[in-house]
Amino acid sequence: MVKCIQARFDASFAALSDATRRGVLERLGRGDTSITDLAEKFHMTLTGMMKHVGVLEQAGLVTTEKVGRVRTCKLGLRRLEEEAAWIERYRRLWAARFDALDEVVEDLKRKDRWARKETDGRGKRR
């Protein structure tokens, strides 16, 4: 089970690691389109776009259907909910760490202000 989830995460993040593939998903969020139209929009060859769409298909993020000579793409059924939850856990972890760091910095600033009040600026006590 864990290996299956890990493989799915790997496929999802690999698919999302490329700007063109993220752009394809964004475009498909507005509606279905052909691979030819996607290739034109992203200024690439049909073969290149088919490779990108293939990676998205393997991750379950896109499905394609061929009708005649036209292969149409649409968003797949995968919703990336598990991936979003994984990212959220790490976002909370880092937010907590940065909050703790902010507290340390503020404490150091308070100590520095207090030390400046105790001296006359030349290292001597008032």
The reply to whether 16 and 64 lie within a common domain is: yes
Residue 100 has pLDDT above 70, yes or no: yes
pLDDT in tens, 30-86: 999 999 999 999 999 999 999 999 999 999 999 999 989 999 999 998 888 888 888
Q: Average pLDDT over the chain, rounded to whole? A: 89
Token couple for 14: 């690999």
Residue 18 has pLDDT above 70, yes or no: yes
pLDDT of residue 124: 58
The reply to whether 47 and 11 lie within a common domain is: yes
Share of the chain above pLDDT 70, in %: 91
The reply to whether 84 and 68 lie within a common domain is: no
Show the domain range for 50. Answer: 2-75
The reply to whether 38 and 71 lie within a common domain is: yes
Q: What is the CATH number of the domain that holds 10?
A: 1.10.10.10
* pTM, rounded to two decimals: 0.72
The reply to whether 59 and 98 lie within a common domain is: no
Expressed in angstroms, the distance from the first to the final Cα of the chain is: 69
pLDDT in tens, 105-123: 998 998 888 888 776 555 5
73: helix, coil or strand? strand
